[in-house]
A and B are shown apart, each in its own frame.
Chain A
Amino acid sequence: MSTSTLNNSSAESFTQAIDHFRELYGNHLPAQKSLQIDAAAVFSQLGIPTTKHEEWKYTSLAVIAKNTYRTVNPSDNCSLSKSNVTSLALTNDTLLYVIENGKFNASASNANALPKGITVGSLAELAGDARVQAHLMKHADFSDESLVALNTALTFDGIVIIAEAKTECATPIQIAVVNNTAGEALNIPVRILLIAEKNAIVNVTETHHSFGSKSPVLVNVVSEVVIAEQARVNYIKLQDEDQNTCHVNYHKVNMARDSYQHISTLTWGGGLVRNNLNIRLDDVNCTSYLNGLTIAKDYQVIDHHTVVDHAMPNCYSNELYKGIIDGHAQGVFNGKIFVRKDAQKTNAFQSNKNVLLSDDASMNAKPQLEIFADDVKCSHGATTGQIDEEALFYLRARGIGEVAARALLNHAFAADVIEQIPEENLKSALLDRLTARLNA
């Protein structure tokens, strides 16, 4: 293992942080205690991965070795109030919940009209609930993911959303994950659990923001999404933190028969962002959409890893990832599609398109198909290039200046991903934010 891990003070300081945390707050989540102890052991074994690790070939975590982080804990207090966070709400009717430095901040949250059958609350409070116990930390497998292990060992709070059978929540539930620093480097574990029971329909938006002084932050998010039979989940991740943030995000979805999920990952903030989406189509007739957008500039590194695992027959998956990379930024895309032996009649598609705007920018793509069943239709495509010169000429011939024409084409290129979002209000709100980001 020594060749593929950062065997330096960094991994050690995290191990110490875990030991310290377990000693003081080891009984904070009694129902999950034994899992957390296992995770701590796994992390001390695995350490922090280096670029020698195939999954981290293009993304170096050396940046987190430079800082000494203080790990947040249950005794930290939340300081944000409703007035601080109103601007974060994507739409007017959003049910807004705030996680501040990993802790559920009830007083800043603004959700009055929660429909019947929907439960949203602090993970620390709900961890003892039987439904939560059945799923929490059971889906995001940490046995070979050291950062998931790190998160699991240090989890003390977060958010739980449960949509009971046959409930429909049309209004989007927004989880605003805020890093609020006061001049110190923080290691923030964030935990999200979403359970959609049979026939439930739910819209969840997870947004990430930076508040306070611009000090280095490591945000380590693990989300577990459990989708029961015939349930439908629309999920959006918007990552818009400052460039001092190192953001690692592990998102695990487990789908039961006839279920549907749609997830969009929009990344335009953060210094180093790594997303691991892991979708398991665990039964027949599942439908899964994955969309993603990278907009990177300066020295940002934005890495999207996705795994779509077709375990059973007659499922459909579609994936569209796009990237606009400028400055000295680096984009990474690694999309895996597994089609297991039993997953006959699978249709799985993947497309990855990138535009490089600068000679110092780079894009590393690795689309990957692993197929063990014969009666399937699978394809992937990946391109890296520039804005179409002919399209540019078309616009310029109609009197649009070059700068404006390029901006228009970049916007159209990126908007393609947001256009896929089924929820109209969210779509237009996100398009506005995209315009603001591209003009920045």
Chain B
Amino acid sequence: MSEDLKILDEVTNSEYKWGFVSNIESDNAPKGLSEDIVRFISAKKNEPEWLLEYRLKAYRHWLTLTEPTWPNVTYPKIDFQDIIYYSAPKAKPTLNSLDELDPEIKSTFDKLGISLEEQKRLANVAVDAVIDSVSVKTTFRESLGELGIIFSSFSEAVQEHPELVKKYLGSVVPYTDNFYASLNAAVFSDGSFCYIPKGVRCPMELSTYFRINSAGTGQFERTLIVADEGAYVSYLEGCTAPMRDENQLHAAVVEIVSHEEATVKYSTVQNWYPGDKDGKGGIFNFVTKRGICLGNKSKISWTQVETGSAVTWKYPSVILKGDNSVGEFYSVAVTNNMQQADTGTKMIHLGKNTSSTIISKGISGGRSQNSYRGLVKIAKGAVNARNFSQCDSLLLGDQCGAHTFPYLEVNNKSSKVEHEATTSKVGEDQIFYCNQRGISTEDAVGLIVNGYCKEVFNQLPMEFAVEAQKLLAISLEGSVG
């Protein structure tokens, strides 16, 4: 019997042996990962057979993979058997008023300029009638529902729209894609699902803010966004408020499908806990994000502001399959203290007349390491493809590092690819100019850095952009000696 068959045999025979089915009422799975855990998660979420099969296939594939070591980051080896792969969302302690909030978090909120009402929500203060988030959520859902837009948690979508989920799940990031995508496919806990029907322009920014149950979805998030022909959606993920999560490892997967003439704009601000000044604690953020422009004239645009995580490893990518499709990537990655970021994008040009733009701004301070890694691939058939990339790095100290690893692969004679990168520090004359006008050095650096990032912030929705600017100033606090 071949090895595969043997495993399969063991699996089919051992289905009930461990008795996890009886354990289904408990909230936490035991530590570690095995086929039983995968089955446990699936059963817990009452998933259909095909999804369980998908998870198991992914798990079996994951077993054959080894952890990637090529990123320009170092971190202690992760013990995958020391992780709890399923735990019911933890209820946060409810506070009676904002006064009970940790003063440090409170001061961050103030600096970010988050309104009092929103502060209460973020801090999980008992909600009052004014911002009854549940009702907010319902109102939004109703108005979206009228347009035929589906916006729900992934688990809900599996129950309510299994045909859509089945059709698109893994179509952009297959479970065989990479080590962490494979792991995610096996054990993903929850996430968001979004479907915009033909010709519909989504009237509002879809934000995970409004989806209360997205909080605490755990470390293996899965997001799937589908824009049908001619549809438009702007999707926001993340939050500028500090996220003090207990989980060490985050391995999320985001898939975007953009059909003919559809546009998807995906913006994210990520501010996970980066660890303390000496690099203790902090989150490992290993994310696979990819979109595919399936139809002609479709468009996918990624905008990201990364300020958190101890280690970030993330390359939001676009496969430009349809003719005349457009891919964009705008990124600001800030690292301070002991943070490490290896981030960038991939633009895979397959269709004719496809174009892509990459603007990446890296800022490193403290003893951090910030890398840009990008691939622009022009296939032979991608006639008249066009790419422009710019990746700039700013260094704010003599202990940090900035690195660029661009890969440019061109396979026909009609395409144009341009890449430029610069590395420099904040000009002393610029700081002097500000000082002269009564602006302290720290504020001056904030000002200059914000100007430097303007190109990216301009891509963010308004309120987000304002918060992102303030967030940047906070992230850089103490980086100027």
Contact = CB atoms under 8 A, between A and B. Distances in A.
Interface stretch (B143-151, B169-177, B399-407): B399-407
Interface residues of A, number: 36
B409 interface: yes
Contact of B401 (A354, A372, A381): A372
Given A369-B404, A377-B424, A359 B413 contact: yes
Interface residues of B, number: 34
A364 B423 contact: no
Nearest to B364: A374
B370 to A, nearest CB: 10
A379 B413 contact: no
Contacts of A382: 406, 408, 417-420
B405 A368 contact: yes
A268 B345 CA distance: 34
A58 B400 CA distance: 31
Contact of B424 (A360, A378, A380): A378
B138 interface: no
B416 A385 contact: yes
Contacts of B410: 354, 356, 362-365, 384
Nearest to B387: A384
Contacts of A376: 395, 423-425
Contacts of B422: 377-379
A354 B410 CA distance: 10
A402 to B, nearest CB: 15
Among A357, A358, A383: residue with most chain B CB under 10 A: A383
A381 B419 contact: yes
B421 A369 contact: yes
Contacts of A54: 70
Among B70, B408, B416, B420: residue with most chain A CB under 10 A: B408
B404 A368 contact: yes
B179 to A, nearest CB: 15
B411 interface: yes
A371 B402 contact: yes
Contact of A380 (B402, B404, B412): B404
Contacts of B404: 367-370, 380
B364 to A, nearest CB: 9
B341 to A, nearest CB: 14
Given A376-B424, A379-B421, A383-B417, A359 B412 contact: yes
A344 interface: yes
A380 to B, nearest CB: 5
Contacts of B380: 359-360
A368 B406 contact: yes
B397 interface: yes
Given A366-B408, A368-B405, A386-B414, 6 more contacts: A356-B412, A365-B406, A371-B393, A374-B395, A374-B397, A379-B422
21 contacts: A354-B410, A362-B411, A363-B409, A365-B407, A366-B408, A367-B421, A368-B404, A368-B405, A368-B406, A369-B393, A369-B421, A371-B402, A371-B403, A374-B400, A375-B398, A377-B422, A380-B404, A381-B418, A382-B419, A383-B419, A385-B418
Interface of A: 54, 58, 341, 344, 354, 356-386
Top-3 shortest CB links A-B: A374-B395, A385-B416, A379-B422
Interface of B: 70, 380, 393, 395-425
